[in-house]
């Protein structure tokens, strides 16, 4: 079977390759085997290949934080899924044609769900959902501000915020995205820049914004921090610039703004397995219904992983780059 291997850490499309490896074999009683039908290339996967992600396993290593699979065999004690069912995998190393995992790591998805969208259920939808729920007790009508608003997380957050009766200020770096994000439910779309706080105040009628989420880092963090109200919270959850967050100390000393961080695994770990399954059941149902989705730019076969990685690293994409290891999408 085919699997992506990273032989050394470096430029993703130079260090990753599609290799022929032995099959995973039959599952033990508490395991199951699934065919990987599709996986996305997320920013964190690119950092994994570069060796700048928090996980840096011994090499060769297989990247891949998420995928959708179809169960082909299940051990005797695995009862919640059967062969033929669609699953997402709570474990990594998913850039491969076939995976064998513990039954408890496989979460079922509804039959008939769009496979492209199913491949992206594991990470970004719960990230958007939990950032809205776990930091500030927001009331209907309140505003939330975010940057990278046209990212998959950003688009999901717009929809999930709307469902809760929240309003969103969406900061992007390309003005042409305004119509698209407005159609999704964005209340305001602004291009990042030095006078951001003034423009946000004008767009929201000087609303007291108690939650900001940001994934650019560097000076963009400072611009977001300046948009939230005194005692507000800014959640840093990624760094598309590769820079650490920077923000003027007066925001913290005089205004009491809190700068904190989010990592999905940390926030899922605070929940029971039942609660985690309930989150994915909710999100899976919403993805199947088409309420939640993320645009897809292109789909590549696993043999073309290098080209797929090069494309995923380019700015200005029209959505995610997906890989179809078994030709299912
Ligand atoms: N902490 C967590 O648990 C967690 C979980 C999920 C995701 N994340 C993070 O969330 C962020 C978004 O992920 P995603 O999968 O939703 O991303 P995505 O769909 O791949 O989109 C990437 C976004 O980043 C923007 N971007 C790229 N380089 C940039 C730069 N130098 N400055 C400003 N914006 C830049 C792109 O803008 P253009 O379209 O204009 O190119 C696009 O909006 C990433 O940082 C990711 O690591 C974190």
Task: Give the model confidence (pLDDT) of 22-54 as tens digits.
Answer: 999 999 999 999 999 999 999 999 999 999 999
Domains of the chain: 2-120+294-324 (3.90.180.10), 124-265 (3.40.50.720)
- Tell me the CB-side half-sphere exposure of residue 156, using CA atoms within 13 A: 26
Confidence of residue 173 (pLDDT cuts 50, 70, 90): very high
pLDDT, position 181 = 98
This prediction's pTM:
0.98
* Ligand 1 atom, smallest distance to 42 CA: 15
Task: Tell me what the pLDDT averaged over the chain comes to.
Answer: 98
Q: Please tell me if the CB atom of residue 147 comes closer than 6 angstroms to any atom of ligand 1.
A: no
Q: Is 236 helix (H, G, I), strand (E, B) or coil?
A: strand
pLDDT, position 155 = 98
- Helix or strand (DSSP H, E) at 176: none
Task: Give the model confidence (pLDDT) of 191-219 as tens digits.
Answer: 999 999 999 999 999 999 999 999 999 99
Q: Are 155 and 213 in contact (CB under 8 A)?
A: no
* Ligand 1 atom, smallest distance to 315 CA: 41
Distance 43 CA to ligand 1 centre (A): 6
pLDDT, position 269 = 97
Q: Please tell me if the CB atom of residue 238 comes closer than 6 angstroms to any atom of ligand 1.
A: yes
pLDDT, position 98 = 98
* N-to-C CA span, the chain: 18
Summarize the confidence of residues 132-141 as an average pLDDT: 98
pLDDT, position 187 = 98
Q: Please tell me if the CB atom of residue 171 comes closer than 6 angstroms to any atom of ligand 1.
A: no
Task: Give the model confidence (pLDDT) of 77-112 as tens digits.
Answer: 999 999 999 999 999 999 999 999 999 999 999 999
244 secondary structure, DSSP code: P
């Amino acid at each position: 079977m085919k699997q992506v291997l990273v032989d050394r850490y470096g430029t993703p499309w130079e260090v990753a390759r599609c290799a022929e490896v032995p099959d995973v074999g039959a599952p033990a009683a508490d395991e199951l085997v699934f065919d990987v039908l599709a996986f996305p290339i997320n920013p964190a996967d690119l950092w994994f290949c570069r060796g700048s992600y928090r996980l840096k396993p011994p090499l060769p290593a297989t990247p891949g934080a998420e995928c959708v699979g179809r169960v082909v065999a299940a051990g005797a004690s695995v009862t919640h899924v059967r062969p033929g069912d669609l699953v997402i995998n709570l474990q990594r190393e998913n850039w491969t044609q076939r995976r064998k995992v513990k039954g408890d790591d496989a979460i079922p998805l509804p039959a008939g769900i769009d496979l492209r969208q199913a491949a992206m259920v594991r990470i970004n939808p719960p990230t958007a959902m939990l950032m809205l729920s776990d930091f500030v007790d927001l009331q209907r009508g309140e505003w939330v501000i975010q940057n990278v608003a046209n990212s998959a997380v950003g688009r999901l957050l717009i929809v999930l915020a709307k469902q809760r009766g929240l309003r969103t200020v969406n900061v992007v770096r390309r003005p042409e995205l305004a119509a698209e994000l407005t159609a999704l439910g964005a209340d305001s779309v602004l291009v990042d820049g030095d006078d951001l706080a003034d423009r946000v105040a004008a767009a929201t009628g000087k609303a007291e914004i108690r939650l900001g989420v940001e994934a650019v880092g560097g000076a963009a963090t400072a611009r977001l921090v300046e948009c939230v109200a005194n005692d507000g919270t800014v959640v840093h959850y990624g760094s598309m610039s590769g820079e650490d967050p920077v923000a003027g100390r007066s925001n913290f000393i005089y205004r009491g703004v809190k700068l904190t961080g989010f990592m999905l695994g940390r926030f899922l770990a605070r929940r029971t397995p039942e609660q985690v399954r309930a989150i994915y059941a909710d999100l899976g149902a919403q993805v199947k219904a088409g309420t939640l989705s993320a645009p897809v730019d292109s789909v590549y076969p696993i043999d073309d992983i290098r080209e797929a990685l090069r494309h995923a690293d380019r700015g200005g994409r029209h959505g995610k780059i997906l890989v179809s290891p078994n030709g299912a999408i």
